[in-house]
Amino acid sequence: MKTIDEMLSLDLLTPEQHQQIGLWISEADSPEAILQMPTDLWQAVERASEIMGVDADLLRPPALDAGGVVPG
């Protein structure tokens, strides 16, 4: 939910899209159920994710200091 809240705050989702997506996610009882979200809502999330660089963040290797662990 934090990600879609950020998408809303950046005006990448309309308030209506944010509400519909949030409701869908909250009512889904499994990841598979989330994947059944209507196409127009998925497209809105995909567009916003692309603009935010979500996929790039997920593919980036972790920083060496991630988690406060610094190699000695």
Q: What is the pLDDT of residues 53-63, one digit of tens each?
A: 887 766 777 76
Over residues 28-35, the mean pLDDT reads 94
Residue 39: pLDDT band (50, 70, 90) is very high
Q: Stretch 40-60: mean pLDDT, rounded? A: 87
pLDDT for the residue 24: 97
Residue 51 has pLDDT above 70, yes or no: yes
What's the pTM? 0.74
Those residues with Cβ within 8 angstroms of residue 8's Cβ, 6 or more apart along the chain or in another chain: 15, 18
Give CA–CA dist 72/58, Å, rounded: 26
